Amino acid sequence: MRHRIAVLAVITLLLATGASMANPGGEGDADRDFTCGGSCHGDPALSSPSDGTISIFVDPLAFSGTATAVHVTASGMSLSGNRLLGVFLLGSANGNDDHPEDHGWGILQDPNGGTRNYVEVVVPPSGSVTLTWVMLAPEQPGIQTLLAEIHHGSTPNSNNWAYSSLTRGYVVDVQPVPENLPGFAFDWSPETRVTGDASPTEIRTRNTTSVSVQWMLEGEWVPHDAEVTGEGDQWHAMLPATIGETRIQYQVTTSNGDFSIVQPWLTVATEPAAFDGEIWGARMQSLALGTTRHGVPALAAGQTFPVGGPPRD
């Protein structure tokens, strides 16, 4: 009985403190509603207002199903030592069904190269950061609203509170797409390449007879022309391989006899090359054979072990 009471007391303490406290290490990019489910930086009702400013820049007019860029700028936050900032792009602030996709939007690419509405970034020493989501406007015309929210810690922060701020709603008038307007295919999204991969980047379009692509390294000002081949709404652009933390941005122009549309800038999303488990298994087996005389058993023939990815902060 005494043991059961002790367990219940511990659980009660965890529930009482966990909901209002920030998670200093972050939770990683994800799809999240406004309240975060209490899982990332605490319930907004229990957190404190951020001292930062946050704003959205988006074209107030978009055509249904076409790509548009949504820029979110946050600045002036008192951050924790790791300078980590969580940023939400939302279609409402109701507490559920807040994801832009719940309101007809499609996320073509988030600021980190994925397709999430919540991302985490490290704010540079300047104290300001601008993040860009490339979105596909809802196929159903009408008035839409987009909001952004930030979550972060602070130093000092004796209570380990989360700090948050929410923008006002930014209105976008989604209008019917003009007939024969060239653009990306509705079901296309930028592919993720392995570091060092220089294979062609596939681009799928609609109502398009020609495609041109320009690219540049992050931080460059002058773009380069990429070689593009293909036809029939399926194209391949030759972009350089990414090495290390190098980021490549590219911009697609879709054209036909009636229109020429310059699409928003995209990022070549990359991931580390996978290790060959069989090779590493063989190496470990060789090491094990050399240590069996010291009481360390060898791996069985053909036995391998899983190799994980890079550690997360």
Phi/psi at 287 (nearest 5 deg)?
A: -65, -40
Say how far apart CA 75 and CA 19 lie, in whole Å: 26
Cβ–Cβ under 8 Å, residues 98 and 92: yes
- pTM value is 0.75
Three-state DSSP at 15 gives helix
Domain ranges of the chain: 21-175, 183-271, 281-313
pLDDT at 80: 85
Residue whose structure tokens are 């600045």: 75
Amino acid residing at 125: P
pLDDT at 76: 93
Structure tokens, 281: 């298994």
Say how far apart CA 102 and CA 262 lie, in whole Å: 27
Cβ–Cβ under 8 Å, residues 50 and 77: yes
Percent of the chain with pLDDT over 70: 74
pLDDT at 167: 92
Domain 183-271 annotated CATH 3.40.630.10: no
21-175 to CATH, choices 3.30.750.200, 2.60.40.790, 2.115.10.20, 2.60.40.10: 2.60.40.10
pLDDT at 108: 94
Low-confidence ranges of the chain (pLDDT < 70): 1-26, 36-46, 158-159, 273-313
Cβ–Cβ under 8 Å, residues 108 and 135: yes
CA dihedral 133, 137, 142, 146 (to 10 degrees): -10
pLDDT at 15: 35
Four-residue CA torsion sign, 176, 180, 183, 188: positive
CA dihedral 294, 297, 303, 304 (to 10 degrees): -60
On the CB side of 77, CA atoms within 13 Å amount to 32
Amino acid residing at 155: T
Amino acid residing at 157: N
155, 101, 118: which is closest to 39 by C-alpha? Answer: 118
Phi/psi at 103 (nearest 5 deg)?
A: -115, 15
Three-state DSSP at 104 gives coil
pLDDT at 272: 74
Say how far apart CA 249 and CA 109 lie, in whole Å: 12
Cβ–Cβ under 8 Å, residues 215 and 240: yes
Say how far apart CA 149 and CA 162 lie, in whole Å: 13
Report the DSSP beta bridge partners of residue 251.
214
Say how far apart CA 205 and CA 215 lie, in whole Å: 18
Q: What is the largest CA-CA distance in the chain?
A: 81
Domains 21-175 and 183-271 share a fold: yes
Q: How far apart, in Å, do the first and last CA atoms of the chain sit?
A: 41
Structure tokens, 287: 């090491």
- Angstrom distances, CA of residue 229 to CA of 103, 181, 209, 238, 241: 35, 21, 12, 9, 18
pLDDT at 70: 97
Distance from chain centroid for Cα 257: 35
